[in-house]
Structure 1
Amino acid sequence: MEQVESQASTRTPTAITMTLSLAMLLASLGTSIANIALPTLTEAFSAPFAEVQAVVVAYLAALTVSVIIAGRLGDHFGLKPMLVVGLVIFIVASLLCAISPGLWPLVGARLLQGVGAAFLMTLAMALMRQTADEARIGRAMGVLGTVSALGTALGPALGGLLIPVTGWRGIFWVQVPVGAVAALLAVVALPNEPRKAETEPTNLRALIDRALMPTILVNMLVAAVMMTTLVVGPFFLSLGLALAASHVGLVMAVGPAISIFSGVPSGRLVDSWGSRRVLATGLALLTAGAVMLAFAPESMGVVGYLLSIAVLTPGYQLFQAANNTVALADVPRDRRGMVSGMLNLSRNIGLIAGASLMGAIFAFGVGTEDFAEASPADIAEGMQLTFLLAGGMMIAAIGIVSAHRNATGRRT
């Protein structure tokens, strides 16, 4: 009898983790899988690249706008029911994407898919915090970080395999059965929540001022730096180091690969060392990695770039596991959806800033927006300026965390 109870107690957390991981995988897969189809969509719809880009931008924009709404709805109606609703929206949107007769119907379907993804990302994190054992919260957050990195890395590879066989529609068809499995698991495996009592409306400004503003700011800065590596890295590798496109792809895959293998160990460290210490370690590695990217690739070539990424990426996973744990540690159950949404919102804003503002800094450092006309020395100069600024941003993040910790210590 005791053995049966023990098996049940271990099976339930495993099923919960699998369900929430699959939801996070779908959302991150949706973020990256369409990128590789852009050239195919340009031909299929006889549309310019600027218009076809809307397929990617629509998803990201809807995801960014919807995360706070998804969190509020989860807090009000229950995290599990709203996660199921999000999965249904995502499935329907994926089906509409797959059967879209034209470019703009596809963009509209991607908007809807982004809304569904906002529910998946936000509520999966909140539910993981709610259902995880108190001694294993960091590990649970590390699992979600690993799955998110896996989905982002898997998207282009899976799309590259499907498009030659199924055409561009296949990258959306494949998400329908995966979403259906996730929805079924959510209904069966996730625990039902007790009926919520009526609560006063959340004072969002007070909540942010009291505890979350430093976390949100640092989350934004870190996301901007990580996106900078994805935007600037390919230009430096191809134009600064004259690597072939296939080699650039291999080098760029190293970062996501490190993320996949470092996410769960990062969570374990949070549980054993404590989130504050791991957060400081992650920010220190992020700072060191950013400064290394400013100098090492120019002097050591590809080896210097890979060494820098090997320092930066584990730092990001340590930061992510610790920061999410800190942010959700003392939040009441009926506020976890909203706080999770705010974390995702700040991350998305950081990603957008990294793609736009840091990209503009890189162009300024190069001296021209026509990178094809720039010399390798110009590209290296832009790389150096961009990542020196990124290192400064990480030093600022360390300052924000230290100031918040000192202020908290004085209050207590």
Structure 2
Amino acid sequence: LGPSLGGLLIAGAGWRAIFLVNVPLGMLAFALAWRALPNEGRSGPGRSTFDTPGTVLLALTLAAYALAMTLGKGSFGLLNLGLLAVAALGVALFIVTELKVETPLVRLAAFGDRMLTASLAMSVVVSTVVMGQLVVAPFYLSRALGLDPATVGLVMSTAPLVATLAAVPAGRLVDRFGAQPTMIAGLASLVLGTFALSSIRIAFGIPGYVVPVLALSGGYALFQTANNTAVMGAATADQRGVVSGLVNLSRNLGLITGASLMGAIFAAASAGADSATPSATLLGMQVTFRVAMALALVALGLALFSRRAGGKRKDLA
């Protein structure tokens, strides 16, 4: 609903409406969570203390990284470098804190599991690619193809619609063939989709965008389902909440990085006498998805590596 509703709101009421609409939706989500989610926190003598120092450090570190990736209005200056330095310092302090506290927010020993580390890294990379598509495609559809905001929103709805429809079949594929083969198939589809978008031509029109997105979004649905299954299936009962949080964290880091990195690549590639011309926009689109294809190949390599690591671990067992 997001792209299509957003396009209609922008066309009818202006861009501020896409933020205002989230106020009632957010209140509804809060009310549903308050009413429906169980309150089953541990209590009694065995109850562990909450890692407040680690939580504060993690929040400040993520805030610094997010600001470093988004401030500057298209340029990367001293402020951005300073914020990245703060984020790096925050990571170091967070690690030191987690090694010292009695009940750490994140058990760092978990990152010794190659499959978990690879899964989280793949989640960052794949989310970067998917966010790049969401950021760059509207410029291509409006500037190169000349579509109005409402039509751009409807065309952009292809990606989440495909991912939604593919989710349950993806789950059945995971149950039948296993998480690793399904994940590799999804990443291969992601590579194919990004390759097609890197070769796009204005003459292809709307189908030239929609068809590659079918492969990209379908691959994303396969990857997400398989990766979540693999990660959560390997988590112990007392660590499922933290591991789930790490998966969400890795995905959000990818979304932040994709919005800034892929947007910056598009802006740099399409810069010229008039970056808003169809030819400049086309070039920016092609270059951005060449980078996206390289990232998708990195994710595919990680998936193959994690499969080998898992196979060796089974052999040793």
TM-score > 0.5, shorter chain as reference: yes
**8 Å Cα contact 2:8/2:150 also seen in 1:** no
Paired with 1:223 and 1:333, the residues of 2 have a C-alpha distance of: 27
Matches within 5 A, 1:174-193: 174-187=25-38, 192=40
Deviation, structure 1 residue 174? 4.7
1:170–1:230: structure 2 CA closer, same or farther, 3 Å change rule?
closer
Determine which of 152, 156, 162 is the counterpart of 2:6.
156
How large is the RMSD of aligned CA atoms in angstroms? Answer: 2.9
1:368–1:328: structure 2 CA closer, same or farther, 3 Å change rule?
farther
Deviation, structure 1 residue 232? 0.6
Paired with 1:314 and 1:157, the residues of 2 have a C-alpha distance of: 23
Determine which of 218, 223, 234 is the counterpart of 1:314.
218
Aligned to 2:107: 204
- Which ranges of structure 2 fall in alignment gaps of 5 or more residues? 49-101
Deviation, structure 1 residue 288? 0.3
Q: Secondary structure at the residue paired with 1:243?
A: coil
Paired with 1:248 and 1:170, the residues of 2 have a C-alpha distance of: 19
Match of 1:348, as an amino acid? N
1:291 counterpart = 2:195: yes
Matches within 5 A, 1:99-178: 152=2, 156=6, 171-178=22-29
Aligned to 1:273: 177
1:282 counterpart = 2:132: no
Determine which of 333, 357, 367 is the counterpart of 2:237.
333
Paired with 1:282 and 1:263, the residues of 2 have a C-alpha distance of: 12
Tell me the alpha carbon deviations over residues 157-203 of structure 1, each in whole angstroms, 9 at most, x when there is no partner: 89779979xx876642354345323422224xx8x577684676356
**8 Å Cα contact 2:182/2:222 also seen in 1:** yes
Tell me the alpha carbon deviations over residues 293-339 of structure 1, each in whole angstroms, 9 at most, x when there is no partner: 11134452211101011111111011000001111111111111111
Provide the TM-score with structure 2 as the length reference: 0.71
1:398 counterpart = 2:249: no
**8 Å Cα contact 1:286/1:394 also seen in 2:** yes
Greater fraction helix? 1
1:160–1:265: structure 2 CA closer, same or farther, 3 Å change rule?
farther
Matches within 5 A, 1:348-359: 348-359=252-263
Match of 1:304, as an amino acid? G
Deviation, structure 1 residue 250? 1.6
**8 Å Cα contact 1:159/1:171 also seen in 2:** no
Tell me the alpha carbon deviations over residues 198-254 of structure 1, each in whole angstroms, 9 at most, x when there is no partner: 676356322013142111111011001101111110111111122222221221111
Q: How many residues align?
A: 255
Q: Secondary structure at the residue paired with 1:301?
A: helix
Tell me the alpha carbon deviations over residues 271-309 of structure 1, each in whole angstroms, 9 at most, x when there is no partner: 122111110111011000000111134452211101011
Paired with 1:356 and 1:173, the residues of 2 have a C-alpha distance of: 28
**8 Å Cα contact 2:7/2:153 also seen in 1:** no
Paired with 1:185 and 1:159, the residues of 2 have a C-alpha distance of: 30
Match of 1:186, as an amino acid? L
Match of 2:309, as an amino acid? A
Match of 2:111, as an amino acid? I
Deviation, structure 1 residue 154? 7.8
Match of 1:209, as an amino acid? G
Aligned to 2:134: 230
Deviation, structure 1 residue 409? 2.1
Deviation, structure 1 residue 261? 1.4
Q: Secondary structure at the residue paired with 2:37?
A: helix
Aligned to 2:52: none
Provide the TM-score with structure 1 as the length reference: 0.56
**8 Å Cα contact 1:293/1:305 also seen in 2:** yes
Aligned to 2:123: 219
Paired with 2:274 and 2:142, the residues of 1 have a C-alpha distance of: 14
Q: Secondary structure at the residue paired with 1:269?
A: helix
Deviation, structure 1 residue 376? 1.6
Q: Secondary structure at the residue paired with 1:296?
A: coil
Match of 2:147, as an amino acid? L
1:307–1:208: structure 2 CA closer, same or farther, 3 Å change rule?
same
Paired with 1:285 and 1:262, the residues of 2 have a C-alpha distance of: 13
Paired with 1:349 and 1:184, the residues of 2 have a C-alpha distance of: 30
Paired with 1:159 and 1:325, the residues of 2 have a C-alpha distance of: 36
Paired with 2:25 and 2:247, the residues of 1 have a C-alpha distance of: 29
